[in-house]
Structures are given as C-alpha cells and as structure tokens.
C-alpha cells in the first residue's frame, strides 16, 4: 500500500493512523485499472525466483493479482492476500476468467494469518514496500517462508518515475514526521537492513517497467481517476494546489518520456529482488 517518499525523521510515527489513511487511499479509485498494466512484472518475478510447479506460494499485498496469476499459470498452489477486499475480488474474477485455481484471503502484510514456514515462495509486487511498519512486514514474510525458500519482490526505486512521483506528492502534501520511506525497499542496503540474518542471500537486480499511455495527460488522468494515492492527493488540495501538482507531475512525465510521437513511453526503475530464506 502507499506512502510518500521522504527522509526518515527520529520522531515516533503513528503507524496505526498512517495505515488507516493508506487503507482509505487504496480503497478509493480502482487500482485494478492501473494494476493490470503491470502484469509483465509478475511474470518476470516468477521467473526470477525460478518458481517450480506445485510450489506453495503466498502473494502479499497482491492488489488485483499480477504475481498471483503469474504463479498460478505455472501450476503453483497460490494464496493471494491483500487488506482491500475489492482488490481481492478483482483478482478472483481474473483467476476465474482464466480457469486458474487460487485461494484468496483478506490479510494484513504486517500480521499474516499463517503458521511459520507455510510457503515455499512468498511474492509481492509494489505492495509490501508500502507497509507502514516495514520491519514487521519483512519479519512476517520471513516467518511464513520455509528455510531455504525464496521471497521475491518488485520494489520501486527512489530515483525512478514512481519514486519521484511520491516525492512530488510529498512536496505538495508533507507526510507525517518519522514515517520510514518506502524507498528503503528499493535499495539493496535497505533490504539488507530489513531482512538481516533471516536472509541467507539477497540478489537485487535493477529492472525497468515502461508506462505506455496515449500521452502524459492521459497517464495523469488515469492515475488521477483510479490510483488512490494520486486521487486523494488532488482531492486534498484547493484549485491552485491542484494546478501546481498537475504541472509538476506532467513535467516529471515529460522528463522520463522517451517517445517521440506524442505518446508516452516512460520507463520507471524498480528492483527485482530474490531473498533466499536462511
């Protein structure tokens, strides 16, 4: 789920209040409209962890199920979780449309309702990185993964388009003090701090996802209508603030855009991470 990217402060954050705000943000709009465009990331992640058929797989903060579907297509035994019921329902519809057998269960990434070592592989694409209590979320992923199993993650990097988008939102709507930046998950050093001795090995590979839209304005309209954090950011600002935020986001998109035909083809860097459980 989502939070803005910013420097960590020593002040003690109210993580419960932050989680409530995040839940409201991700419950607004419809992330599935944006999420389906990211399907290739789930496919790539399943290949990165070398997912075998029959593996017990948990998708954490699964959204509408990109990694879930990719794992199920490889004949894994998949449990898909998120704390937004509407997103799980959209994932269920996608699985049913493809005739894929998946178990869907509402669950918080910081308190996974499964016994220790329940899964061979634990996945998350642009999901668990936004958990307010980062250390707890990492510990939960380690706990439910069997020794020698793998944790596969796709995490936006701070310098990429999405990382910069949240930085811009944070400039217009400063976040509460003391909340750890989700960008920690997009840096190898940050990952080593989160997983610590629970990881026998961490392999972090820079990747890029290309956002392809009709134009920068089209991208902004889609995210403003459907992507909860952007929708909520605009809703919280007056007309002048909205105009300023719009201008900053459009400038960001044009900076990343590599298309020369008036459309948008904007790469956003992310880390493809494979953690081998100690």
Question: Bridge-partner residues for 58, per DSSP?
Answer: 79, 122
Class of residue 188 by CB neighbours under 10 A (exposed 0-12, middle 13-18, buried 19+)? middle
pLDDT band at 29; cut points 50, 70, 90: confident
Go through the chain and tell me how many residues it has: 278
CA distance 101 to 75: 9
What crossing angle do the helices spanning 66-73 and 39-48 adopt, rounded to 10°? 50
d(CA 251, CA 254): 5
Q: What pLDDT, on the 0 to 100 scale, is given for residue 190? A: 97
pLDDT at 11: 55
The tens digit of pLDDT for each residue in 154-184 reads 999 999 999 999 999 999 998 878 788 999 9
State the pLDDT at residue 4: 38
Q: Which domains does the chain have, with CATH numbers?
A: 15-157+176-209+269-277 (3.40.50.150)
Per-residue buried b or exposed e for 106-126, using 16+ beta carbons within 10 Å of the residue's own CB? ebbbbebebeebbbbbbbbbb
pLDDT tens per residue, range 77-106: 999 999 999 999 999 999 999 999 999 999
Q: Give 129's pLDDT tier (boundaries 50, 70, 90).
A: very high
């Amino acid at each position: 789920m989502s939070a803005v990217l910013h420097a960590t402060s020593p002040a003690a954050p109210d993580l419960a209040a932050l989680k409530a705000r995040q839940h409201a943000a991700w419950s607004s709009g419809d992330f599935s409209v944006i999420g389906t465009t990211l399907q290739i990331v789930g496919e790539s992640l399943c290949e990165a962890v070398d997912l075998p058929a029959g593996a017990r797989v948990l998708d954490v903060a699964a959204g509408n199920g990109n990694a879930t579907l990719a794992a199920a297509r490889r004949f894994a035994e998949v449990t898909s979780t998120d704390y937004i019921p509407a997103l799980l329902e959209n994932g269920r519809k996608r699985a049913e449309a493809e005739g894929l057998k998946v178990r869907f269960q509402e669950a918080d990434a910081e308190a996974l309702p499964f016994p220790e070592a329940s899964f061979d592989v634990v996945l998350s694409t642009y999901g668990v990185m936004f958990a307010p209590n980062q250390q707890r979320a990492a510990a939960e992923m380690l706990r439910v993964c069997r020794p020698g199993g793998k944790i596969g993650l796709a995490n936006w990097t701070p310098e990429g388009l999405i990382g910069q988008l949240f930085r811009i939102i944070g400039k217009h709507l400063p976040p509460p003090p003391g909340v750890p930046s989700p960008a920690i998950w997009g840096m190898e050093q940050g990952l080593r701090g989160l997983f610590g001795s629970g990881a026998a090995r961490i392999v972090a590979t820079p990747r890029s996802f290309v956002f392809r839209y009709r134009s920068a304005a089209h991208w902004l309209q889609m995210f403003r209508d459907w992507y909860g954090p952007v929708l909520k950011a605009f809703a919280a600002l007056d007309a002048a603030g909205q105009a300023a935020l719009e201008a900053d986001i459009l400038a960001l998109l044009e900076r990343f855009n590599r298309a020369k035909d008036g459309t948008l083809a904007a790469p956003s860097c992310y880390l493809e991470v494979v953690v081998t459980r100690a």
